[in-house]
Amino acid sequence: MAILKVMKLGAEVLRRPAAEIEAKDLKRGRFKGLFDDLRETMVEYAGTGLAAPQVAAPVRALLYMVDPEGRRASAGAVPPTILVNPSFEVLDPKEVEDWEGCLSVPFLAARVPRARKVRVRALSETGKPLDFVAEDFHARVLQHEADHLDGVIYLDRVRDRASIRYTVDF
């Protein structure tokens, strides 16, 4: 296992669509090392999500969690979970704005509109089909991380640009 370098805004790998992963490669454990490194790296940087392109691995995999101790606990806790080749169907077209930040865009936060409720289809890290519904903060984290797989950064989706702010005093 290793703590990987998190790529920052401006890195080309953050801006190009990532490649699908084949289920047979998951079953063979070909990506196990990457998934372990994603877990270790997310813990090191206290993130709530980390997509493979953020560690310069241009494949459609993401890691996320919803912390039961966090201020978003009302969304329901989700343990650290890997999703591969995720796709979404919007179940509630109502968009909700809330704060987001990103390990690839340090020291900034902004308000981002996201679909409130989505149906998620993906493969598990061992290649099993997953199909579930995510709401509120859970849905937000997933949409943010999945955007990374398409080369999209949350700042691209900010509607209220005046909300963009530093999270630290320099």
Residue 149: closest CA among 59, 81, 82: 59
Which residues have C-beta within 8 Å of that of residue 167, sequence separation ≥ 6? 101, 107, 108, 109
Work out how close the CB of 114 gets to Ni ion at its nearest, in angstroms, rounded to a whole number: 13
Which token pair is 108? 């900034």
Q: Whose Cβ is closer to Ni ion: residue 66's or residue 102's?
A: 102
Residue of 52, 83, 102, 122 interacting with Ni ion (CB under 5 A): 102
Q: Whose Cβ is closer to Ni ion: residue 38's or residue 102's?
A: 102
Work out how close the CB of 66 gets to Ni ion at its nearest, in angstroms, rounded to a whole number: 15
Catalytic residue check, 44: no
Which residues have C-beta within 8 Å of that of residue 123, sequence separation ≥ 6? 21, 23, 26, 83, 84, 85, 129, 130
Point out the catalytic residue in the list 44, 97, 100, 145: 145
Work out how close the CB of 158 gets to Ni ion at its nearest, in angstroms, rounded to a whole number: 13
Question: Per-residue x/- marks for Ni ion, 25-54, CB under 5 A?
Answer: ------------------------------
Work out how close the CB of 119 gets to Ni ion at its nearest, in angstroms, rounded to a whole number: 22
Considering the rule CB under 5 A, would residue 61 count as an interface residue with Ni ion?
A: no
Q: Whose Cβ is closer to Ni ion: residue 22's or residue 67's?
A: 67
Which residues have C-beta within 8 Å of that of residue 11, sequence separation ≥ 6? 56, 104
Is 65 within 8 Å of 83 (Cβ atoms)?
no
Which token pair is 51? 């997509």
Residue 1: closest CA among 52, 50, 35: 35
Q: Whose Cβ is closer to Ni ion: residue 22's or residue 39's?
A: 39
Residues in contact with Ni ion by the rule CB under 5 A: 102
The catalytic residue positions are: 145
